[in-house]
Structure 1
Amino acid sequence: MSEQNKTPQTLQEWQAMAETLQIEGRAFINGEYVDALSGETRATRSPADGRELAQVASCGPEDAELAVKVARKTFESGVWSHMPPMERKKIMVRFAELIEQNKNEIALLESLDAGKPISDTMNVDVPGAVTTIRWSGEAIDKVYDEVAPTGPNELALIQRMPLGVVAAIVPWNFPLSTTAWKLGPALATGNSVILKPASNTPLTAIKLAGLAKEAGLPDGVLNVLPGPGSSLGKALGLHMDIDCLTFTGSTEVGKTLTEYSGQSNLKRTFLELGGKSPNIVFADADLDKAAEAAALAVFYNQGETCTAGTRLLVEKSIAGEFIEKVKKASERFKPGHPQDPNTVMGALIDKSQFDTVEHYVGKGKEEGAQLVCGGAASSAVEGGHYYEPTVFRGVTNDMTIAKEEIFGPVLAVIEFESEEEALQIANDSIYGLAAGIWTLNINRAHRMARDIRAGSVWVNNYFGGDITVPFGGFKQSGNGRDKSLHALDKYCELKSTWIDIS
């Protein structure tokens, strides 16, 4: 391995690499890095210590207008949309290879920008993005159209056609992963894409744009616009010449984007939104394994995870014993510097999110929940916003901390006495993104998995799955699906062509 590609092994080595990193902050339109038309920029700051990382283009409606015109012209030219599937596949696979070759830089950018532990960005986020782009590319020439079973004098063709111009708005908690989940199927099916990263985590999206061009993606197929949701996101949502909007983020914003669709051209709107996922532990479970997973389920990624198992439902007969196991398991999630390879839990994204966590911890105490551990800020690194793993017991499902998404390392433990009560509590939520079930009773596992209203149900594990299975939610957790072959369908129109051959 060359010295240039050698992976840093210590905090000091990662920091040294960060000092020499040339960070690109411009938008990417029609195959070129460009300033926002207004010339405005916005500082993106490291959650680790608050220092400025780069000045990033602050795009607005005028940039959206330009990008849409470029994307539409490119789509209609057929340079990508009509390219033979096998040729598109080669470019997508090359794109994945370039992400892999640049893994150190991309992992560092993600850690710097989002406050995520470098061990996670290196071992989870970057490999996941590589797999998603490569798998989507490999699928292109293996998904067949159909011929309907007509009579002998007709021929009916059923074809998947690209939608056209897709706008993808991705969140700040998993910027790289969700970007890959959108780009993979949208590009594979022949669309042009306008990607709007979250305004506080734009760096990996901007980097990927250049790598896509290097891989051979034609100019204008992928355009990246960093900028605020209030103006840029609204402009994309209301634009009359965008065919599809795919969004991962809060339920509140998802509802607004759905309204924009109705107010404009009824663009397809696919949403992966919030969650308040139940993680249900029965007395017959492997309690040690379940406790380790329960801590991971809520404290991974600082709790800034839409699928976080923030409601821990525990059978009453084992509640005391199990909570002690979870408390002990939470000790390994001590906040630390995100660029330290030994850090398991990094920094909250910013002061606003820190204040949100503080608010909900206060509500938990105010409404009578019992604080088991945590409940306070951590001084892991000066200038950053860190919070201790926090566990409440004695929670009832009508408490604020059991109903509302906190997006921080706060666990609400709710006790139950029967399978029926556990199911009722689990489904008593506006959300339906994910759920966990811990039991060695195979019949109970199947009953619960069947009846819980959630898009992903994990039995005797948490966060299970890979690119081959769909991901998305029920109820106010959204619609549509990321990942798997089902995601390809979301970026296609079905066209029926009926031919009379009599």
Structure 2
Amino acid sequence: MSSPKHEIKFTKLFINGEFVDSLSGNTFKTIDPATEQVLATVSEGRKEDVDLAVKAAREAFDNGPWPRLSGEARRKILLKFADLIDENADELATLEVIDGGKLFGPMRYFEVPIASETFRYFAGAADKIRGSTLKMSSNIQAYTLREPIGVVGHIIPWNGQAYMFATKVAPALAAGCTMVVKPAEQTPLTGLFVAHLSRLAGVPDGVINVVNGFGILPELPCALIWTLMRLRLRDPRKLVVRLCMPQHQAICNQCRSNWEENRLSSSLTMQILIKPRNLTILGNLTSKGEMCVAGSRVFVQEGVHDVFVKKLEVMVKGWATGDPFDLATRHGPQNNKQHYEKVLSCIERGKKEGATLVTGGKPFGKRGYYIEPTLFTNVTDDMTIAKEEIFGPVISVLKFKTVDEVIKRANATKYGLASGVMTKNIDIANTVSRSIRAGAVWVNCFIALDRDAPHGGYKMSGFGREQGLEALEHYLQVKTVATPIYDSPWL
């Protein structure tokens, strides 16, 4: 298993329209998870670099053209941005593979095109941002304006840089905001390349700034967050993050910012077998389980449980693991060594707590962060693998009897991002869909994400929504303008 040699073109910080070294001169290495080899040495941003990026974004917002462009002008630039992503799809897909362990085929023909279409979707919204007229008493004429909120900060996780970059940056650009983007330190290369494309698309200097570096918990505890959230400078007005729970709690506790958490989804399988088996595989092993909406718990009704597990075992064993550039491969390496070791430790804990390991559960190959696709049965609600997000290629099957029981058990978690219901019974589908406390309920489908569908969670699975026109609202604020007219007591 080896990645082709590839020229890494952009490794510096992107501030005010230029690629620059960090002020400290510090760097860090980014690793190919398939080979464990160093890909590139990347500039490491620190607080002083974020200061420069925030100032550039502030200047671009206060005095630059972007917030003042017509919606039509912003739309044209966003459409050009989308075209450039398509033109460079091979490059972006390759970066996602060698830097993040993704599979080339799905990246080239699915995720990267979704990123470009996300830019097109919000380009279509850029010239349709409008307020409303108000009927007020006392002969006052009033209307509202929806204006960009200002400088925003985006913190992007490592499990899909092109897609995550698009879902955050595109609506902010459409609204007229400027921004500072911090890619995950494990996968900095895609964000830097997309920053380069933004310049080619005509996005003005300072509108998009990209600062690599270690963000939340290492020796720079919240350094980037603190700078972004400095209330005394009133920059930025919005912080959009998608990270693991400890990092979110650190941000919430220390910065009291908006946060989004995606974890611990459930799939409820009832009465039908063929489609649920396929959806269970796709919902858990796609992108080696490194998905915020992975169906971590699979509840299967006891009448079909044994047959379901036998057939699922065959499918899991046949899930091809190997070279991520081979289009026949369905399962690549975990994103980074630390996460690889965490997934393996979760598997070991599942075995120790009494779950039955049906297949998988071991490292795969002699190098790279590969883990065999793994299937557990006899999982109970109190086991760690049922309560905590593994974010890896691990399927946990839990048995249930009645619909009321499974609803109660599915809801017995502090998380609630997504869920799936597999049934031919419309009454069951409706009952469960209305009863599950999660941001998405997919009936006889799974991972039904779309740029027009709002995406976010209940409970500790997040504040706010990405995608859909609802996402645009995060980057706009409303102003009311009132004017007295004839016979008004104000005149």
**Structure-1-length-normalised TM-score:** 0.93
SS in 2 for 1:348: coil
> Counterparts of 1:341-360 in structure 2 under 5 Å?
341-360=327-346
Deviations 1:344-371 (A, max 9, x none): 1110112211111111111111111111
Query: Aligned partners of 2:148 and 2:263: how far apart in 1?
Result: 30
Matches within 5 A, 1:9-408: 15=3, 18-151=4-137, 153-230=139-216, 231=220, 232-240=223-231, 241-262=235-256, 269-283=257-271, 285=272, 287-379=273-365, 382-408=366-392
Tell me if structure 2 keeps the 8 A contact 1:251–1:478: no
| Partners of 1:237 and 1:261 within 8 A in 2 | no
How far 1:255 sits from its partner (Å)? Answer: 2.1
> Greater shift after overlay, 271-280 or 47-56?
271-280
Partner letter of residue 170 of structure 2? G
Contact residue 186 and residue 336 of structure 2 kept, 8 A: no
Structure 1 counterpart of 2:423, one-letter code: T
CA-based RMSD of the aligned residues comes to 1.5
The one of 449, 456, 468 aligned to 2:433: 449
Q: TM-score, normalised by structure 2?
A: 0.95
Which amino acid counterpart does residue 165 of structure 1 have in structure 2? V
**Conserved? CA contact 1:335–1:346, under 8 Å:** yes
What displacement does 1:154 show? 1.4
The alpha-carbon deviation at position 152 of structure 1 amounts to: 7.6
Question: Contact 1:274–1:405 at 8 Å: present in 2 too?
Answer: no
Matched, 1:437 2:416: no
Residue 487 (structure 1) aligned to one of 458, 467, 471: 471
Q: How much does 1:151 deviate?
A: 4.3
**SS at structure 1 position matched to 2:5:** helix
2-structure distance, mates of 1:202, 1:332: 33
2:106 alignment partner AA: D
* Cα displacement (A) at 1:155: 1.7
Identify the match of residue 478 of structure 1 among 440, 445, 462.
462
Query: Structure 1 segments of 4 or more deviating over 4 A?
Result: none
Residue 86 of structure 2 aligns with an amino acid whose one-letter code is E
Kept after mapping to 1: 8 A contact 2:285/2:373:
yes
Of 249-258 and 48-57, the range deviating more from structure 2: 249-258
How far apart, CA to CA, are the structure 1 residues paired with 2:260 and 2:310? 34
Contact 1:29–1:67 (8 Å) recurs in 2: yes
Question: Any gaps of 5 or more consecutive residues in structure 2?
Answer: 487-491
| 1:272 Cα deviation from its structure 2 partner | 2.7
CA–CA separation in structure 1 for the residues paired with 2:254 and 2:169: 22
Aligned identity (percent) is 37
- Tell me the secondary structure at the aligned position of residue 411 of structure 1: strand
Give the secondary-structure state (helix, strand or coil) at the position aligned to 1:479. Answer: coil
The corresponding residue for 1:417 is 401
Paired residues in the alignment total: 478
Tell me, in whole angstroms, the C-alpha distance in 1 between the residues paired with 2:388 and 2:310: 25
Cα drift, residue 234 of structure 1: 3.2
SS at match of 1:249: coil
Tell me the SS of whatever aligns to 1:107.
helix
Q: Is the 8 Å Cα contact of residues 45 and 53 (structure 1) preserved in structure 2?
A: yes
Q: CA deviation at 1:373?
A: 0.9
Matched, 1:460 2:444: yes
Classify the secondary structure of the residue corresponding to 1:176. Answer: helix
Q: CA deviation at 1:237?
A: 4.8
Give the whole-Å Cα distance in 1 for the aligned partners of 2:227 and 2:421: 39
Return the alpha-carbon distance in structure 1 between the equivalents of residues 243 and 319 of structure 2.
25
Residues 467-491 of structure 1 deviation map (CA, whole Å, 9 limit, x = unaligned): 0010011111111111010000011
Give the aligned residue type for 2:368. Answer: G
Q: 1-side partners of 2:266 and 2:8: how far apart? A: 43
* Contact 1:423/1:451 (<8 A) preserved: yes
Q: Return the offset for 1:334.
A: 2.7
What are the ranges of 5 or more consecutive residues in structure 1 without an aligned counterpart? 1-10, 263-268
Measure the CA separation in 2 of the matches of 1:205 and 1:20: 17
